[in-house]
Amino acid sequence: MATVVLGICGSIAAYKAADVASRLTKAGHEVHCVCTPTALRFVTPLTLMTLSRHPVISSFEEETTDWVPTHIALAQKADVLAVAPASAHSIACFAQGFAPNVLTSLYLANRAPVIIFPAMNTLMWEHPATQQNVQTLLKRGDRIVGPAEEGELACGTCGKGRLVDVATIVSHIQQVV
């Protein structure tokens, strides 16, 4: 089976990444979760590690087990990099080549296919800067799936911005690998 690097960004939808990791692991894939620091405010490393059966990487300070930094080793090993949920901040970092954390650094070192599953407030999604960043990523060959067309968001507004459902995320990842 495939090696899936599952990037998880700071969003209320981060809890769904646990289900994604679980389903992919049960399907026989090797899943490695890489979290932004803000993702850990929404989901715990213990949950992700238990469901993926691998340690969670979330900071450069954790990269002390081998002479090759973990984010580089995972980038070289990945068959796919899937980011679910992807925040506006991480999408901007990917598009502009900024690497303030382990996930964005891994993105720059990665050569495997990338699938980005956005999740954010409708106004943030519709902002011209976000749309320009999405277009930049699409031109590079990254895939963007979502956000869901309509629905109530955690902030109480209705509109486009919700993370697509877990089954859709898993299906898109499995199609790539």
- Strands of the 143-144 sheet, one edge to the other: 30-35, 3-8, 80-86, 114-118, 143-144
- Tokens matching residue 52: 């993926």
CATH number of 1-87+100-116+129-145: 3.40.50.1950
**According to the model, what pLDDT value does residue 170 have?**
98
Catalytic residue among 33, 35, 155, 158: 155
DSSP symbol at 37: T
33 is catalytic: no
**According to the model, what pLDDT value does residue 71 have?**
84
Q: What is the DSSP string of 113-141?
A: -EEEEE---HHHHHSHHHHHHHHHHHHHT
CA distance 65 to 118: 32
Per-residue pLDDT of the chain (177 residues; tens, 9 = 90+): 899 999 999 999 999 999 999 999 999 999 999 999 999 999 999 999 999 999 999 986 766 667 677 888 899 999 999 999 999 999 999 999 999 999 999 999 999 999 999 999 888 999 999 999 999 999 999 999 989 877 666 666 766 778 999 999 999 999 999
- The pTM score is 0.94
Whole-number Cα distances in Å, 112 to 3, 23, 29, 92, 135: 10, 21, 15, 19, 19
